[in-house]
Amino acid sequence: MRKEGKDLKKELPLLHGIPFSVKDNIAEKGKISSIASTAYADRVMSEDAVVIKQFKLAGGIPLVRGSLP
């Protein structure tokens, strides 16, 4: 049976389904983090940064990676 109203809000995390962007200097597992430098162009991150872990736990969805000028 589907719950309605306030009961449903209690079950969903705060950022449920909200997409967010990640700057290139923040580690995201399985993604390249070059920090806008050719010296790090092939560096693939082995784990998420703490901030990314927290956003994902809150239900956020990493959608795009932003570059550094």
Q: What is the pLDDT of residues 43-54, one digit of tens each?
A: 999 999 999 999
Q: What is the pLDDT of residue 52?
A: 98
Q: What is the pLDDT of residue 36?
A: 85
DSSP string spanning 7-69?
HHHHHS-TTTT-EEEEETTS--TTSB--TT-GGGTT-B-SS--HHHHHHHHTT-EEEEEEPP-
- Parts of the chain with a pLDDT under 50: none
- Pair of tokens at residue 20: 């967010």
Q: What is the pLDDT of residue 27?
A: 95
* Domain contains 36: yes
Domain with 29, as residue range(s), is 12-66
Q: What is the pTM of this model?
A: 0.77
What is the Cβ-side half-sphere exposure of residue 38, based on CA atoms within 13 angstroms? Answer: 0
Q: What is the number of structural domains in the chain?
A: 1
Q: What is the pLDDT of residue 39?
A: 93
